[in-house]
Amino acid sequence: MTLLSAPAEAMPMGRLRLSDLPRLARRHPLVLIGGGLLVLLIILALAAPLYAGDPVNMDPFKRLQPPSAEMWFGSDNLGRDVFARTIFGARISLVVGLMSAACAALAGLLIGVIAGYSRTFDNVVMRVMDGLMSIPTMLLAIALISLTGPGVGILIVAISIPETPAIARLVRSVVLGVRERPYVEAALCGGARLPKVLWRHILPSTIPALMVQSATVCASAILTESGLSFLGVGVPPEIPSWGNMIASSRLYLAVAPLT
pLDDT in tens, 210-243: 888 888 898 899 999 888 888 888 888 788 888 8
Q: Phi/psi of residue 55, each to 5°? A: -75, -10
Can you tell me the distance from the alpha carbon of 17 to that of 89, in angstroms, rounded to the nearest whole number? 34
Count of Cβ atoms closer than 10 Å to residue 193 Cβ: 10
Sign, CA torsion 222/149/249/87: negative
Which 3 state secondary structure label does DSSP give 81? strand
Chain centroid to Cα 66, Å, comes to 33
| Tens-place pLDDT, residues 65-91 | 888 888 888 888 888 888 888 888 888
Helix residue ranges per DSSP H, 52-81? none
Report residue 24's pLDDT band, with 50, 70 and 90 as the boundaries.
Answer: low
Q: Is the pLDDT of residue 5 over 50?
A: no
Top mean pLDDT of 48-52, 83-87, 198-202 is at 83-87
Assess contact for 159 and 224: CB atoms under 8 A.
yes
3-state SS, 103-132, equals HHHHHHHHHHHHHHHCHHHHHHHHHHHHHH
Distances (CA, A) of 140 to 99, 149, 162, 200: 18, 14, 7, 36
The model carries a pTM of 0.77
Are residues 141 and 156 in contact, defined by beta-carbon separation less than 8 angstroms? no
Q: Which of 8-12, 93-97, 122-126, 177-181 has the lowest mean pLDDT?
A: 8-12
- Average per-residue pLDDT in the chain? 80
Contact between 156 and 218 under an 8 Å Cβ cutoff? The reply is no
Give CA 51 to chain center in angstroms. Answer: 26
How far does CA 110 lie from the centroid of its chain? 19
Q: Which domains does the chain have, with CATH numbers?
A: 98-252 (1.10.3720.10)
Q: Between helices 82-117 and 152-178, what is the axis angle to 10°?
A: 40
Where helices occur in the chain by DSSP H, the ranges are 21-27, 29-46, 48-51, 82-117, 119-133, 137-148, 152-178, 182-189, 194-197, 203-231, 242-249
